[in-house]
Chain A
Amino acid sequence: MKTILSGEQLSITIQRLAHQIIENSPELAETCIIGIQPRGIWLSSRIMQAINIIKPNHPIRYGVLDITFYRDDVRKELHVANQTDIHFSIENKKVILIDDVLYTGRTIRAALDALMDFGRPRKVELCVLIDRRFSRELPIQPDYVGKAIDSIITQRVKVGWKENSGKDEVILL
């Protein structure tokens, strides 16, 4: 077991990701942030908090997306569906998808398909906390990365949050 990010490092990383997103999105009113259920929403809500503190007078649209019904492994393993809540139109908006760990890329593929059923965004970007490089099974790359790591298949990345496991940290098992 190895710590990839401690609680303190994690909060600095989230601050940086929030700043990068703002830097890259001059029109915040035309930008939407969408967290991917179930685990991406812990990160996306932290990033939203950070953005709201940095830019308090620029409310930014925020939603959560569940991709269960778009998975390509329905027949192998049944996942329990979570809530999707996108109460605004993404038509012609810039959408930033947020997830905690980018691994094979299959979740993001499903998220892109799901997203397109809500409209036609002008642009879609991807923000992840941990990028497990060299493990991709699909041609998908992130635009914002908390930390990139090299890991082998048998290893597991565990992202813990105060809200669900009592402690902010990222560890490699």
Chain B
Amino acid sequence: MRLSTKHLLGIRDISPNDIQLILDTATQFKEVLQRPVKKVPSLRDVTIVNLFYENSTRTRISFELAEKRLSADTINFSASASSVSKGETLLDTVNNILSMKVDMVVMRHSASGAPHFLAKHIPAAIVNAGDGINEHPTQALLDAFSIRENLGTLEGKKIAIIGDIMHSRVALSNLYLLKKMGAEVMVAGPPTLIPTYMKEAFGVQVEYNLRKALEWCDVANVLRIQLERQNQVLFSSLREYNQAYGVKKEMLASLKKEILVMHPGPINRGVELDSDVADSGQSIILQQVENGVAVRMAVLYLLAGRETP
């Protein structure tokens, strides 16, 4: 039993069996993380570089912790404090790091497709930790893991992805994954932030009314408004966005059922999610973060185990 892929570049390229294997393995790693010694020796002989060309808090810490819990050796690289500022190319940087005998690359980059480009040119296994507006596969996996943990299964569950669909790699990875695992998916948000091809490209429902979306779903995955990727004015103000699409306590309370609220972080409090919702019992945001370590351990473990000597 092993993954059908050498790299984790996106959810688009992996099979439902791969997803199942990663989630099942993550369940066992989650148990490891409850032990007095939260560490296993599996990747003792593996060196991993965390290559972050874009800022990150959760993902970088989560990957680093996952690597340490697996006993791998790790190197951290952030573009801002490196020779990238002197003009070194991506491929040169990575080849220089690999010549120091590094086995795996975890990479975040602001250009969509950057990890795919690397995968064509270097022998090491690559894990995409977010590339531009393309994919963020480990986030989708940990979201799926968290839903499965709370609802038992993904199959037939109704998941609404709410907010900035156009610029969100979390949305895209989640879409691929949820469809592959048999969930029903809806995207909701202002028409300016939802690409017009969503329906025919993914077979998902599109809803422009937040209340209707919340009434329909079992789980609301609320996305961050990506202020750094807005190059044109797609909504008039943050305040107006909050009025129309911010998830509020009163609205959740008026629904007939209690839904789960998720958010990939970092939260713009008072924009897409109000503080009293983010901190409520319906929110599983911190549980998502906790699960992130177990899911990333599973991904790294399964990819490292794949290379046969």
Residues of A within 8 A of B (CB): 66, 68-71, 74-76, 78-85, 113-114, 116-119
Contact = CB atoms under 8 A, between A and B. Distances in A.
B28 A66 contact: yes
Contacts of B1: 78-80
B306 A84 contact: no
Contacts of A114: 40
Contacts of A84: 28, 31-32
Nearest to A37: B28
Contacts, number: 61
A83 B28 CA distance: 6
B176 interface: no
Interface stretch (B180-188, B206-214, B260-268, B297-305): B297-305
B301 to A, nearest CB: 7
A80 B25 contact: yes
B308 A119 contact: no
B309 interface: yes
> At the interface, is chain B mostly helix, strand, loop or mixed?
loop
Identify the 8 closest CB pairs spanning chains A and B, nearest first. Answer: A117-B37, A69-B40, A81-B28, A78-B305, A69-B42, A78-B2, A80-B1, A74-B305
B31 A83 contact: yes
Contact of A81 (B2, B25, B45): B25
A83 B29 CA distance: 10
Given A80-B21, A118-B36, 5 more contacts: A78-B1, A80-B1, A81-B24, A82-B28, A84-B31
Of the candidates A68, A81, A84, A114, the one having the most CB atoms from chain B within 10 angstroms of its own CB is A81
Contact of B305 (A75, A118, A119): A75
Interface string B1-17: 11000000000000000
Interface of B: 1-2, 21, 24-25, 27-29, 31-32, 35-37, 39-43, 45, 70, 301-302, 304-309
A39 to B, nearest CB: 16
A119 B41 contact: no
Contact of A69 (B24, B32, B309): B32
B301 A80 contact: no
Given A69-B301, A80-B21, A83-B31, A75 B41 contact: no
Of the candidates A68, A78, A83, the one having the most CB atoms from chain B within 10 angstroms of its own CB is A78
Contact of B24 (A71, A76, A79, A80): A80
A117 B28 contact: no
Contacts of B302: 78
12 contacts: A69-B28, A70-B40, A70-B41, A74-B43, A74-B304, A74-B305, A75-B305, A80-B24, A81-B28, A83-B31, A117-B40, A118-B35
Contacts of A71: 42
A86 to B, nearest CB: 8
B110 to A, nearest CB: 33
A69 B41 contact: yes
Given A76-B308, A80-B1, A117 B36 contact: yes
Contacts of A85: 31
Contacts of B2: 78
A113 to B, nearest CB: 7
A147 to B, nearest CB: 31
A74 B306 CA distance: 9
Nearest to A69: B40
B250 to A, nearest CB: 41
A113 B37 CA distance: 11
Nearest to A79: B1
A119 B37 CA distance: 8
B309 A75 contact: yes
Given A66-B28, A84-B31, A113 B308 contact: no
Contact of A117 (B21, B29, B39, B308): B39
A70 B28 contact: no
